[in-house]
Amino acid sequence: MNGSNTTLDLNAHSLREVNAALQGAENGAFTLLNPGGAHALACGLTSPVEVTIRGHAGYYCAGMNKEASVTIEGNASTGVAENMMSGTVRVTGNVSQSAGATAHGGLLVIEGDASARCGISLKGAEIVVGGSVGHMSAFMAQAGALVVCGDAGEALGDSIYETRLYVRGTVASLGADCIEKDMRDEHRAQLADLLARAGMDADVADFRRYGSARQLYNFKIDNAY
């Protein structure tokens, strides 16, 4: 099925029917109406389709996304774009916890705030948050980048392996083995590119960079109690 500006109303079609239509399309644009906070909307897409969700989405929206471009015109609940492989997911409102969890690739843009554990166990995707993020964001993050135009909550980057964290506002506290690092030209270039792709109007010079001190990679007997 090739979609081209197809409108799908969740009040008229089941979630399974809607997801099957999206997953079966090779290209085209879809608009979903009346999402009503349903779970797993537009998840598991593997083709470059464009999906616009008019309203608030439930858990795991656009999870496992590959190549598709999904826009949520509203808020999204837990785990938006979790385990994304590629493509773009944009949320115009706020998101709940664990946004972009374990995502391997692609770009997740959150225009509002993200709550706790944003980018937990991030594995290579890029996340740009227009507002603030909650506590334990980028917990055990392994690769990729997290840009926060607002503030970060407690324990940012706790037990981080790699991943570049850029924060414009205040950081309530840094987690274990997460430290502030110098902004070099390569980082300024990466941040400018991410802000441009996310459509965020922010000055690179206002951001600070945080990352791994790389002291937890290996077991140290001195750390034992």
Strands 123-129 and 69-73 turn out to be unpaired
Q: How far is the CB of 107 from other proteins (least distance, A)?
A: 23
Minimum CB distance to other proteins smaller for 71 or for 190: 71
Q: How far is the CB of 196 from other proteins (least distance, A)?
A: 29
**135 touches other proteins by CB under 8 A:** yes
* Tokens, residue 43: 């998840």
- As beta bridge partners, residue 128 has 109, 147
Minimum CB distance to other proteins smaller for 105 or for 131: 131
Which residue of 3, 58, 87, 157 would you call a contact of other proteins, by CB under 8 A? 58
**59 touches other proteins by CB under 8 A:** yes
E strands along 50-118, which residues?
A: 50-54, 69-73, 88-91, 107-110
- Judged by CB under 8 A, the stretch of 50-58, 143-151, 161-169, 176-184 that binds other proteins is 50-58
Minimum CB distance to other proteins smaller for 28 or for 93: 93
- Judged by CB under 8 A, the stretch of 20-28, 63-71, 75-83, 103-111 that binds other proteins is 75-83
Beta-carbon contacts of residue 36 (< 8 Å; ≥ 6 apart): 10, 11, 55, 56
Cβ-contact 212, 178 below 8 angstroms: yes
- State the Cα–Cα distance between residues 135 and 207, nearest whole angstrom: 19
Cβ-contact 83, 64 below 8 angstroms: yes
**121 touches other proteins by CB under 8 A:** no
**212 touches other proteins by CB under 8 A:** no
Q: How far is the CB of 34 from other proteins (least distance, A)?
A: 9
Which residue of 28, 37, 48, 105 would you call a contact of other proteins, by CB under 8 A? 37
- State the Cα–Cα distance between residues 84 and 81, nearest whole angstrom: 5
The site for other proteins, by CB under 8 A, has a size of 19
Residue with tokens 């503030």, as numbered in its chain: 151
Cβ-contact 212, 162 below 8 angstroms: yes
Q: Where do contacts with other proteins occur on this chain (CB under 8 A)?
A: 36-39, 55-56, 58-59, 75, 77-78, 93-94, 96-97, 115-116, 134-135
